[in-house]
Amino acid sequence: MAVRVQADDFDIGAEIAAMAAGRKDIGAIVTFSGLVRDMANGQPITTMALEHYPGMTEKALEKIEAEANKRWDLQASLIIHRYGPLDAGANIVLVATASPHRQAAFESAEFIMDYLKSRAPFWKKESGAAGGNWVDARDADETAINRWDQTSKA
Amino acid sequence: MAVRVQADDFDIGAEIAAMAAGRKDIGAIVTFSGLVRDMANGQPITTMALEHYPGMTEKALEKIEAEANKRWDLQASLIIHRYGPLDAGANIVLVATASPHRQAAFESAEFIMDYLKSRAPFWKKESGAAGGNWVDARDADETAINRWDQTSKA
Amino acid sequence: MQVLYFAWLRERIGIPKEQIETNAATVAELVEELRGREERYALAFSDMASVKVAVDQELVDMDAPLKDVREVAFFPPMTGG
Amino acid sequence: MQVLYFAWLRERIGIPKEQIETNAATVAELVEELRGREERYALAFSDMASVKVAVDQELVDMDAPLKDVREVAFFPPMTGG
């Protein structure tokens, strides 16, 4: 289990290799990477400023990761979330989960992403020719959490 | 869209980088990698021989990939499946999907994996100290397909 | 106690954080007190449906007590990932 | 027509493929014909619940017709991924 909050970019291949290094018991690794899109609501975007709450962010991510490890049989998990100014096309987030079974790897990665979206203290300000705009939370992201049932503590 | 059936290993980081190269419209990339586990049914495994049906394999993978692209709004997709003798810990398969939205990327990757498991003409023979053993198809893998509804043609 | 503001709350109030001495018993009472201070606070806290609060780095409801609290943070709904 | 065998069907029958001239109208009739040939075929086709068939590289049922077919393949349920 590992959580990193950083301004620097990450190398997905290197992270997966590190996760699997020296072990032969992993059956499945799922990764999710989120990137800055160059369009938002029909407006061109050149950069996205990612603000976060140092201290609380790490706690929130660790809590989400711990809950995923409690719910699924995971052999390894990783959450890397960037902050600061990011250009269109840049990496924002990497989630990786490893398990003996594919279903556990898929579900836990989705679970982590769903909780990251509306439970990790990050805020996005998109900037383009039209100026800057704070990204609104989407109802769909709040709804996505409900499918993991109401008993979750993450 | 791309399908590759090969004996050689693949580099997940390089494949993802190639998928996203020169574009800024991708919001989410999901990858699944499957690896040879060193245990099967409580028996240690040293190698897995992957047999396939050249010609039909490529067709089957292309059909599965095309169906995923029909069902979800994908910006790119990739299926790499290895064959031949593979050591424990080795990569077997890589599926990667890119979409503006995370849900489409996750679901399409799961869909492709579910169909790969029981619709692509591969057969696995596991070998360890206890000898060789053809891996049986799992009922669960056949059942997994049903959740994508009965109307699928993939 | 330390009070932090993030995203557009930070922009509207004009500072990322400040030290506040208060007798407010709950977060809601603190918000009322801040609203009464200056127009920029009243503006920032005008639509509480889009304001979330964390107390000592844990998400809480607006009626959460402030006894022994070291840090309160106000921010819009989160948009991680 | 070309007939292919994979995995344990290949091992039981002892060859990966062979050229077969047949008047069988369906896959099921071809299987009957092969079963009658030799013990190794009878063994390979003893439990048809675990045998799948592809005709010209498309999965089909055992009652599929063989007219104009170039390639028939028999194999166990697939285990890709």
**pLDDT tens, position by position, A17-55:** 999 999 999 999 999 999 999 998 889 999 999 999 999
Determine, for residues B119 and D80 on separate chains, whether the beta-carbon distance falls below 8 Å.
yes
In the predicted structure, residue A59 carries a pLDDT above the cut 70:
yes
Domains of chain D: 2-75 (3.10.20.30)
Q: At C28, is the secondary structure helix, strand, or coil?
A: helix
Q: Measured between alpha carbons, how far is A96 from B33 in angstroms, rounded to an integer?
A: 11
The least confident of A46-60, A95-109, A138-152, C27-41 is A138-152
Distance CA B79, CA B58 (A): 10
| The token pair that represents C72 in the structure block | 């309160």
Tell me the domain boundaries of chain A: 2-149
CA–CA distance, D70 with A90 (Å, rounded to integer): 51
Touch between C and A (at least 3 CB pairs under 8 Å): yes
pLDDT at A79: 98
The listed CATH number (2.40.50.140, 3.90.1170.40, 3.40.190.10, 1.10.3470.10) that belongs to domain A2-149: 3.90.1170.40
Return the pLDDT at B149. Answer: 81
For residue B42, is it left (φ>0), alpha (ψ between -120 and 50) or beta?
left
Are D6 and B113 a contacting pair at CB < 8 A?
no
How many beta-carbon contacts under 8 Å exist across B and D? 70
pLDDT value at A151 more than 80: no
For the packed helices B102-119 and A102-119, what is the interaxial angle rounded to 10 degrees? 180
- Which residues touch A85 (CB under 8 Å, ≥6 apart)? A47, A48, A49, A50
User: Which residue positions in chain D have pLDDT lower than 70?
Assistant: none
Using CB atoms, which chains have 3+ pairs under 8 A with D? B
Q: Give A-chain residues touching B102 at CB under 8 angstroms.
A: 32, 34, 113
For residue A37, how far is the Cα from the chain centroid?
A: 15
Q: Are D11 and D40 in contact (CB under 8 A)?
A: no
Quote the percentage of chain A above a pLDDT of 70: 97
| Gap from C4 CA to chain A (nearest CA, Å) | 9
Please give the Cα distance from A129 to A39 (Å, whole number). 11
pLDDT in tens, chain B (154 residues): 899 999 999 999 999 999 999 999 999 999 999 999 999 888 999 999 999 999 999 999 999 999 999 999 999 999 999 999 999 999 999 999 999 999 999 999 999 999 999 999 999 999 998 889 999 998 889 889 999 985 544 4
**Would strands B2-6 and B76-82 be described as parallel, antiparallel, or unpaired?**
parallel
Note the pLDDT of residue A153: 45
How would you write the pLDDT of chain C (81 residues) with one tens digit per residue? 999 999 999 999 999 999 999 999 999 999 999 999 999 999 999 999 999 999 999 999 999 999 999 999 999 999 999
Residue B74 confidence (pLDDT) = 98
Reference A97, options A78, A81, A82; nearest CA is A78
Chain C neighbors of A55, CB-CB under 8 A: 57
pLDDT at D38: 97
C76/A120 CB distance under 8 A: no
Chain D contacts of B141, Cβ < 8 Å? 79
pTM given for the model = 0.94
